[in-house]
Amino acid sequence: MWHCLGMSRLYLSADIRRAETIATVIGLAARCDPAEITTGQIAVAMGVSQGALFRHFPDKQSIWTAALDWTCSELQRRFDDVLDLPPLARLEAMLAAHIGFIMENPGVPRILWGELQRTGETPAKAIVRQLMAKYRARVAGELSAAHAARQIAGDADLEAATVMFLALVQGLVMQALAIDDFSALPAMSERQFALFCRSLEAVK
């Protein structure tokens, strides 16, 4: 994520201002209830006026939408970085990349869960659903590739395995949120993935 280093704040471009706003919101969400974060708090944390903030975002919801758009793009970028591995190794690397992203940006899952709990439709909620659908499709694709490569049992239930993998990730993140401690995520995700592979009689 971009950080302002050694540049006059008077000459920051719109793109840089937007990136800084996204980073600020995610940072605040790591410490505060996202639903209670105000545009005033965001502006104070950035050292700008609310008027300056509204020159780049018309309202609070548009800031949340931008933060979730960035989340989607950043996760996809990290997943794309592991494409040259065998299927199961790709899936394991995806899990590691996802856990690494969450540890760097613990405010993101707080925003995600917060949006999913909102009643009615919002642009941010639609992005969350889109992210989850893309993630599910990607996991299903990797499991199908692993099945074709005979890395997992021939009679493995790939649909159930996809749900199991997603539940693995979501469960780990939810438990970390519940105790407000993400430090155990890398080691526990490795152990969980090993169990996941054994359930599919996987051969790496």
What one-character-per-residue DSSP string does 47-102 give? TS-HHHHHTT-SSHHHHHHHHHHHHHHHHHHHHHTTTTS-HHHHHHHHHHHHHHHH
The pLDDT of residue 82? 87
Q: Using CA atoms of 159, 160, 164, 170 in order, give the dihedral in degrees to the nearest 10.
A: 60
Query: Distance between CA atoms of 53 and 105, rounded to whole angstroms?
Result: 22
Tokens standing for residue 84: 């040259």
H-state helical runs in the chain:
14-29, 39-46, 50-54, 60-80, 87-104, 107-116, 123-148, 158-179, 185-199
Those residues of the chain that have pLDDT short of 70 are: 1-12, 203-204
The pLDDT of residue 204? 60
The pLDDT of residue 2? 39
The pLDDT of residue 123? 86
Are the C-beta atoms of 37 and 114 separated by less than 8 Å?
no
Our measurement of the distance from residue 2's CA atom to the centroid of its chain's CA atoms, rounded to an integer in Å, reads 17
Query: Distance between CA atoms of 1 and 19, rounded to whole angstroms?
Result: 8
Span 151-168, pLDDT tens digits: 999 999 999 999 999 999
